[in-house]
Amino acid sequence: MENFSVNSAKSYIGKNVNLHLKDGAVIVNVQLKAILKGAGKNSLLEYNTCGKRTNRIPLRTIAYAKMIDASLLLAAC
């Protein structure tokens, strides 16, 4: 499996995903907003939670993202 990078993150912008982190944790049901590029490997991924709160996480901590079914989101939020 290849690493989660800026290029693979770009394909998920605007979509609802579950973010699987390298430490085994999962951030559930978020919508990816933007990639904030930093110097070197310090890029951040900006996302919204169901409650419309915006958060940022370093891109290097994400193992992969998995798309979720949009019909599930309509009932949840």
CATH number at residue 40: 2.30.30.100
Query: 39 vs 8, which has greater pLDDT?
Result: 8
Q: What pLDDT score was predicted for residue 42?
A: 85
Q: How confident is the model at residue 76 (pLDDT cuts 50, 70, 90)?
A: low
Going 1 to 60 to 62 to 54, the CA torsion angle's sign is negative
Q: Is residue 74 part of a domain?
A: no
CB atoms within 10 A of CB 53: 9
Task: Give the number of domains in the chain.
Answer: 1
Query: Is the pLDDT at 20 greater than 90, yes or no?
Result: yes
Q: Is residue 36 part of a domain?
A: yes
Predicted confidence (pLDDT) per residue in 29-70, tens digit? 899 999 998 876 789 999 998 878 899 999 999 999 999 876
Residue 34 is part of which domain span?
6-68
Q: Is residue 56 part of a domain?
A: yes
> Long-range pairs for 6-9 at CB < 8 Å and ≥24 separation?
6/35, 6/37, 6/43, 6/59, 8/65, 9/35, 9/45, 9/59, 9/62, 9/65
Q: What pLDDT score was predicted for residue 47?
A: 95
